[in-house]
Amino acid sequence: MIVVTGGAGFIGSCIVARLNTFGWGDIMVVDHLVDGDPKHENLKKKKYVQYLDKADFLKAVLADQLDPKIEAIVHMGACSDTTGTDAKYYEENNFLYTKHLAEWCLKKGVRFIYASSAATYGDGSEGYCDDEATMRRIKPLNLYGESKQKFDLWALDHKVLDKMVGLKFFNVFGPNEYHKGDMRSVVAKSYAKVVAEGKIVLFKSHHPDFKDGEQKRDFIYVKDAVDVVIFFLENPKINGIFNLGTGQAQTWNELAKALFAAVNKEPHIEYVDMPEHLRARYQYFTQADMTKLRQAGYTQPFLNLPEAVKDYAGYLKTNSHY
């Protein structure tokens, strides 16, 4: 049995779908769903044997009452809001929850793969290398990044990274993110407007080194990100913290133009001021150093940005949820 926490969420549900394509249905999905929650859509047509609310799952972990057949926990569940202000919630939901799962897996010898984040790198002044020295220097810009960094450091300090995998996800986008509100990708948020009105709105730059729309991100398609997760499930002897991007930073303007091309529209980009509360915490450049993952044996190429956006646009055209 494989447990996927956050299994009704964006990346988690895509992992469940990919496991299903391999004929794997012995899956426990862990999430937190309420009546009317749009994430219910992400579990339709998925094969799994059990669903547990995240609170009930944690109780079972702490009481050591989990199914002994569990071979791996893929922990994607977390509060991914980068603008939240409830420090206690991030501490309990992101750090402590992950710590409890890790300790259980270490005790039982169960494979543990967890989601860290590129948000841990802060303003990027220390670079984007996933080595220990860099990870001890970096300073996140928000509570979300701090919560992810805190567990990375816990794993480093307790010398257990040789027994688990942490994945520093960069800017992931793709199907099944429609429920994330403002945390959706720009492609998801802009698709309908681009199709209907032929225009897209991006933030102006408030940094002298970057022109409007020239801020850069390492965008990775969710299908590629899931392939990396599967690689680590299939290679349980490979462990550590790894960046998960493409290794190629590209501008928001390039992303926008890729979306216009995907729907056969001429580019029309409008720029608006970035909200004041975001300016001090905004990452103007992210680019994953992918050396470590490649050296670990992952050789599969990543889709380039136009290919990924075109694939996603095809999904958005035929699905009501975006």
Q: What is the pLDDT of residues 230-268, one digit of tens each?
A: 999 999 999 999 999 999 999 999 999 999 999 999 999
3-state SS class at 27: strand
pLDDT at 300 > cutoff 60: yes
Active-site residue, from 90, 114, 128, 144: 144
pLDDT at 322 > cutoff 80: no
Cα torsion 123, 201, 184, 96: sign: positive
181 Ramachandran zone, left/alpha/beta (phi>0; psi -120 to 50)? left
Q: For domain 178-216+249-283+310-318, say whether CATH 3.90.25 is its number.
A: yes
What is the pLDDT at residue 281? 85
What is the pLDDT at residue 320? 55
For 55-84, the pLDDT digits (tens) are 999 999 999 999 999 999 999 999 998 989
Question: What confidence category does residue 280 fall into, taking pLDDT thresholds of 50, 70 and 90?
Answer: confident
Q: For domain 2-173+218-248+285-303, say whether CATH 3.40.50.150 is its number.
A: no
Domain boundaries, the chain: 2-173+218-248+285-303, 178-216+249-283+310-318
Please confirm, yes or no, whether 144 is among the known catalytic residues. yes
For 198-240, the pLDDT digits (tens) are 999 999 999 999 999 999 999 999 999 999 999 999 999 999 9
Active-site residue, from 99, 180, 199, 204: 180
Instruction: Phi first, then psi: give them for residue 235, nearest 5 degrees.
Output: -130, 70
